[in-house]
Amino acid sequence: MGTVLIGAFLFIFGILAMVWEALARRRLSRPPKQENDRQTLEPRHQGLRFLAPTRNWLGVGLTTVGGVLLLFGALRYAFV
């Protein structure tokens, strides 16, 4: 039971770490540069650099270890 709980904790914490990394490194809005630009809270271009493994290595690692522990715990209890 402890393996499953630790795995679930690590998996959820890994997802939260990746979300934090994606949102914390950029501004969510910027003021319009011209007066005729439509005003919106969404940035024009975010790019895909926030998905890079070099920036999300902690979240990817925690999610992977948590998933392995969850699978190990599920298989352990399935064959008991």
Q: How confident is the model at residue 39 (pLDDT cuts 50, 70, 90)?
A: low
CA–centroid distance for 33 within its chain? 31
Question: Which phi-psi region, left, alpha or beta, contains residue 9 (left: φ > 0; alpha: ψ -120 to 50)?
Answer: alpha
DSSP letter string over the chain?
-HHHHHHHHHHHHHHHHHHHHHHHTS-S----SSTTSPP-SS-S---SGGG-TTTSHHHHHHHHHHHHHHHHHHHHHHT-
Q: What is the mean pLDDT of residues 51-76?
A: 89
pTM above 0.75, yes or no: no
Q: What is the mean pLDDT of residues 73-78?
A: 88
The type of residue at 16 is L
